[in-house]
Structure 1
Amino acid sequence: MNDLKEKYLESIRETAETYFRKGEFFCSEAVVQTINDALGKPYSDDVVKLASGFPIGLGKAQCLCGAVSGGEMALGMVYGRVHGETMNPKMFEKAKGLHDFIKDQYKSTCCRVITKEWAGDNFQSPERKNHCINITGRVAEWVARELIEDGVIKIEEK
């Protein structure tokens, strides 16, 4: 099962990265689309529109990393609430977990800080784009791992 789980998580990471690499989606959009698909599309493909203002640190402001924003939205697909419901305690736990994971890995959740090596580059260098693609894949993989561990996504041998 562990091998199967790791292969599945690798496919999640690769899917999110491919969306970004091919230019089909930016970071936040790629994470939301990938996780929505992994969940069996509980939301229409239009859900990705909610993530379209977040790339490159909130509309190119280089603030909160867009992949993190997309990951937080993806967590909300499962742990979020609608009007009248109480907050699922896992929502804040998972949201903080993703924040802490990125902060541990990259020392910040701020796009400008995470990409300071390429300041002003605006994705002109393949290195900058690959760096962001990698973060996008890692966020999607982290979210999927949490969903597997909580039994939301079930992995079965076919």
Structure 2
Amino acid sequence: MNKDSIIKEVREKAEGYFQRGEFFCSEAVVHTINELLEWPYPEEVVKMASGFPIGIGKSGCLCGAVSGGVMALGMAYGRVYKEPMPEKMFPAASALHDYIKNLYGSTCCRVLIRNYEFTSPERKSHCVKITGEVAAWIASKFLEDPEISNKIACKNS
């Protein structure tokens, strides 16, 4: 499977999980990226993303998809106790933030959805699209990283 096909599949999976109501935005991103990486963490890791939807616990702050995306980046670029911070973590998290901000004008949930009635299908569709965008961006980033892409390429051959 080529890079574009993998990214498209990741986008569609994340969007599908959210669209069908199986996960909210942050959970869909974490679950999809964990799957892409061939489950380095148990499926229950998605529980850590459950407080981030609707701008961190419905507060309207940081977009849940972006929060989940930063968590997903940590799956590959994070650290454990007493390890130094990997060089790739902060630049990748910052780049995701900047990408979404440049694309949508903000990373704040209440700003991203201000033109929608919260319960409307249009708002959900908008959030589903952002969720897919975040997951696709992370997949693209990982596929550009030789240390990660080789593992993904083997899985999708």
**Bin of the TM-score, shorter chain as denominator length:** over 0.9
How far, CA to CA, are the matches of 2:104 and 2:26 in structure 1? 17
> Counterpart in 1 of 2:120?
125
How far, CA to CA, are the matches of 1:83 and 1:50 in structure 2? 18
Give the 3-state SS of the residue equivalent to 2:106 in structure 1.
coil
> Counterpart in 1 of 2:143?
148
1:76 aligns with 2:70: no
> Counterpart in 2 of 1:137?
132
How far, CA to CA, are the matches of 1:53 and 1:85 in structure 2? 26
How far, CA to CA, are the matches of 1:149 and 1:70 in structure 2? 20
Give the 3-state SS of the residue equivalent to 2:85 in structure 1.
coil
* 2:64 corresponds to which of 60, 63, 66: 66
How far, CA to CA, are the matches of 2:92 and 2:62 in structure 1? 17
Give 1:155 deviation, angstroms.
2.5
Amino acid at match of 1:29: E
Amino acid at match of 1:79: Y
How far, CA to CA, are the matches of 2:107 and 2:141 in structure 1? 19
Structure-to-structure mapping, 1:1-158, within 5 angstroms: 4-118=2-116, 121-122=117-118, 124-151=119-146, 152-153=148-149, 154-155=152-153, 158=157
How far, CA to CA, are the matches of 1:84 and 1:57 in structure 2? 30
Give 1:7 deviation, angstroms.
1.1
How far, CA to CA, are the matches of 1:73 and 1:22 in structure 2? 22
In structure 2, runs of 5+ residues without a counterpart are none
Instruction: Extract structure 1 runs of 4+ deviating beyond 2 A.
Output: 153-158
Q: CA offsets per residue over residues 96-131 of structure 1, 9 Å max, x none?
A: 00000001001110001111101xx33x21110000
Amino acid at match of 1:140: A
Q: CA offsets per residue over residues 16-45 of structure 1, 9 Å max, x none?
A: 000000000000000000000000000000
In structure 1, runs of 5+ residues without a counterpart are none
How far, CA to CA, are the matches of 1:117 and 1:67 in structure 2? 18
RMSD: 1.2
Amino acid at match of 1:102: I
Amino acid at match of 1:114: L
Give the 3-state SS of the residue equivalent to 1:117 in structure 2.
coil
| Normalised TM-score (structure 2) | 0.94
